[in-house]
Structure 1
């Protein structure tokens, strides 16, 4: 039924009035528009847990190669995308293999250490007609309801079909179905154990200042989810602006899944509204986020259906303002954020940025308590080399101090976190 629906959507898209240049008509060719990129990544995450919980630490070196061909010339263009991933575990200590970090999948039953390295590859074939692209195979979708995690050593990937159309200026439409998930910390095309997920939605740029998005997903035997975004930027002066960003999710768990997870209920609604004032190199953010509903899971997303019995819709499927180490997404939770950003380019150090955020959440409900709290202080420095042999190499250092009240211990853990990522992108051609 969904495949028929996607087909009808595609026909409607292709029959729409052309309001943009035809990308396929301007194709230079399969080889001429192709590119090969390699990302070398050294990543380290250390979580110093409190209240007797086990510490977590992982360190690894990765090479991420991505190839994207151009499209053949003609009415319908054909192309290929492919990737190859390799990771080497550098930390052989007893704290390695933590589920929350997930560089390398913990061993079965915990009887031995995680694998010392892992390698995998994937490929997809793509077809373009006018400004509409149909891709089938292994992909890394970045949609509000299906967003792969690239915040660890290796990225996640999914296998399936995705149609993306840009036939009308300012309008982007997406429709897809994916039937396998490759876990970022394990080999194999379906190491995540996803049954299937259907996605549908789009975004529209109403004006230069105003943009909106609306998406929906259906994860088989787990949940249904809807997402909405409204973003408006008020230009105030030459170097000043005020931006408002609203994001919201509505989730309904399948009854069998809610019962299995002892969720208590099936429903959750979560939203955030952030206001950011930017002036010169400075930015100041005030945000509020609120979760409501009767599910003890709060806002459910990410993880893997295999072994973890979680959602499987991507580790970045949380387009909300107050998501740092903690997501502040517990049942009934209310959270507030004060944030600050600084671009050191205005002070003679181009490429260096700093971000600080303080988030406090309260009113947390779990299956055993009410009125829990948590708070986090987030800091991040990032530097991107601007020129020379190491141009585009980036160093990112971030830390979080998270404290969770005893009433919220069922939902989250207190701890101190440090992340150091060094990324070096190489454009082979």
Structure 2
């Protein structure tokens, strides 16, 4: 594995902080390499049925995933050292013969059938000095500009270097560089690409750099600021602010903002990008009920784009099927959620939402190097809507404690040129997670 790290000013500052902390580190703060170790195993059963109304066949996949994660503690001393490791196995239970393609299983090699199994493994070297941690190797990342997430059977991981610091109360300082990624449904690693852009043959970004800070210094108020560079494609900046105000013991109010700015950089492999995307939400909680209204806007003739398959789209209207992130898209959402603990069934939660978006596709540059597939001369007032139902139950005790069963249903319909982007679709998911803390 070869990693070239470009030292940003934030990285240098964090390294200086680590060195200063190392001088004052207390050996007793380290739990020990063995004493601080743990191994978790998650068995995830995942079924997805994506029924495309205008297609003659559906995308149906069913698989069993096994995800093992080991993390050691740190050795004693001024600098503590440790190792992490992960192993993943995906087994095909159903899918193939024209039904694969919903991203649970690997994409078929042309014979119409997904392989019976796929697997991957990785390791990470880590070092800690008091409140600063440096990792190099295979990383599980989850921030607004680079996130793998768990929206499929197996998680996406990244190969690179990360540095985090918690020296200041209420603050997280975060930075790193990733050169490769392992996608949800793949065994091997590849260069990091984008979800919506189409690169020319041979074009690729060498790495993604990121740096950011997250703050939670006041009760019920959080904020974060991140910047990233996907080399020769874009610079992306993110800001959020979220506040929860308790009116009384029963009622709470929660306004929030998410904002991204994306600008082409370097060789601009996807062409010109100048995109400002934001979402606003306001949630009213009354006991075990909550109602959320959200508005989202994409200002730009390209879609709001993010890394391939990743969950680094921290926007309010990012739904099960659609992210409502098309060029010049304006969307709103209304969501109702209920926690059944209110009627004596703890662990059972539900949510129902309706989202609607309008796009202007005839402003997209038809000669764009990366986003010409979004162009539609008749798409000035393209529309689509999505209805989502989500029901989840987590076992609260006994031998099956933490076993989680989740049912998801999404219906997406479009018109006035939206068919150029997608087709009318019904999507069903059944997800069963059984996490085990081995030691």
In the alignment, the residues of structure 1 paired with residue 67 and residue 281 of structure 2 have an alpha-carbon distance, to the nearest angstrom, of 34
Counterpart pick for 1:10 among 14, 18, 21: 14
Q: Which residue of 2 aligns with 1:119?
A: 119
Q: Which residue of 2 aligns with 1:166?
A: 166
Counterpart pick for 1:293 among 279, 295, 300: 300
> Any conservation in 1 of the 2:25–2:78 contact (CA below 8 Å)?
no
User: Closer, same or farther in 2 for the Cα pair 1:97/1:22, shift >3 Å?
Assistant: farther
Q: How far is 1:186 from its partner?
A: 1.5
Q: Which residue of 1 aligns with 2:40?
A: 37
Q: How far is 1:53 from its partner?
A: 6.8
Q: Which residue of 2 aligns with 1:419?
A: 429
In the alignment, the residues of structure 2 paired with residue 24 and residue 421 of structure 1 have an alpha-carbon distance, to the nearest angstrom, of 43
Q: Which residue of 1 aligns with 2:287?
A: 280
Q: Which residue of 2 aligns with 1:321?
A: 316
In the alignment, the residues of structure 2 paired with residue 358 and residue 187 of structure 1 have an alpha-carbon distance, to the nearest angstrom, of 36
Q: How far is 1:380 from its partner?
A: 0.5
> Any conservation in 1 of the 2:324–2:357 contact (CA below 8 Å)?
yes
Q: How far is 1:23 from its partner?
A: 8.3
Q: Which residue of 1 aligns with 2:104?
A: 103
- Structure 1, residues 372-412: CA drift from partner, whole Å, max 9, x if none? 11101100100000111111000000101110114111223
Whether 2:21 is the aligned partner of 1:47: answer no
Q: Give the secondary-structure state (helix, strand or coil) at the position aligned to 1:84.
A: strand
Q: Give the secondary-structure state (helix, strand or coil) at the position aligned to 2:239.
A: strand
Q: Which residue of 2 aligns with 1:236?
A: 247
Counterpart pick for 2:348 among 338, 352, 373: 352
Q: Which residue of 1 aligns with 2:94?
A: 91
Q: How does 1:377-396 map to 2 (within 5 A)?
A: 377-396=387-406
In the alignment, the residues of structure 2 paired with residue 421 and residue 23 of structure 1 have an alpha-carbon distance, to the nearest angstrom, of 44
Residue ranges of structure 2 left out of the alignment (5+ in a row) = 194-204, 362-373
Q: Give the secondary-structure state (helix, strand or coil) at the position aligned to 2:7.
A: helix
Counterpart pick for 2:269 among 249, 257, 262: 257
Whether 2:411 is the aligned partner of 1:408: answer no
Bigger shift: residues 231-240 or 283-292: 231-240
TM-score (norm 1): 0.90
Q: How far is 1:13 from its partner?
A: 3.0
Q: How does 1:42-81 map to 2 (within 5 A)?
A: 42-52=45-55, 54-81=57-84
- Structure 1, residues 193-220: CA drift from partner, whole Å, max 9, x if none? 7621100111112311221100011112
Q: How does 1:184-195 map to 2 (within 5 A)?
A: 184-190=184-190, 195=206
> Any conservation in 2 of the 1:96–1:114 contact (CA below 8 Å)?
no
In the alignment, the residues of structure 1 paired with residue 216 and residue 290 of structure 2 have an alpha-carbon distance, to the nearest angstrom, of 24
Whether 2:375 is the aligned partner of 1:367: answer yes
User: Closer, same or farther in 2 for the Cα pair 1:203/1:191, shift >3 Å?
Assistant: closer
> Any conservation in 2 of the 1:24–1:131 contact (CA below 8 Å)?
no
Q: How far is 1:116 from its partner?
A: 1.1
Q: How does 1:11-26 map to 2 (within 5 A)?
A: 11-14=15-18, 25-26=28-29
TM-score (norm 2): 0.88
Q: How far is 1:4 from its partner?
A: 5.6
- Structure 1, residues 161-213: CA drift from partner, whole Å, max 9, x if none? 00000000001011101111112211123376762110011111231122110
Bigger shift: residues 239-248 or 171-180: 239-248
In the alignment, the residues of structure 1 paired with residue 26 and residue 92 of structure 2 have an alpha-carbon distance, to the nearest angstrom, of 42
Q: How far is 1:240 from its partner?
A: 2.0
> Any conservation in 2 of the 1:25–1:75 contact (CA below 8 Å)?
no
Q: How does 1:292-311 map to 2 (within 5 A)?
A: 292-295=299-302, 298-303=303-308
Q: Give the secondary-structure state (helix, strand or coil) at the position aligned to 1:137.
A: strand
Whether 2:247 is the aligned partner of 1:246: answer no
User: Closer, same or farther in 2 for the Cα pair 1:191/1:90, shift >3 Å?
Assistant: farther
Q: How far is 1:114 from its partner?
A: 1.9
> Any conservation in 2 of the 1:126–1:133 contact (CA below 8 Å)?
yes
User: Closer, same or farther in 2 for the Cα pair 1:24/1:277, shift >3 Å?
Assistant: farther
Q: Which residue of 1 aligns with 2:199?
A: none
Residue ranges of structure 1 left out of the alignment (5+ in a row) = 260-264, 304-313
> Any conservation in 2 of the 1:223–1:253 contact (CA below 8 Å)?
yes
Number of residue pairs the alignment of both structures matches: 407
Q: How far is 1:414 from its partner?
A: 1.5
In the alignment, the residues of structure 2 paired with residue 24 and residue 399 of structure 1 have an alpha-carbon distance, to the nearest angstrom, of 51
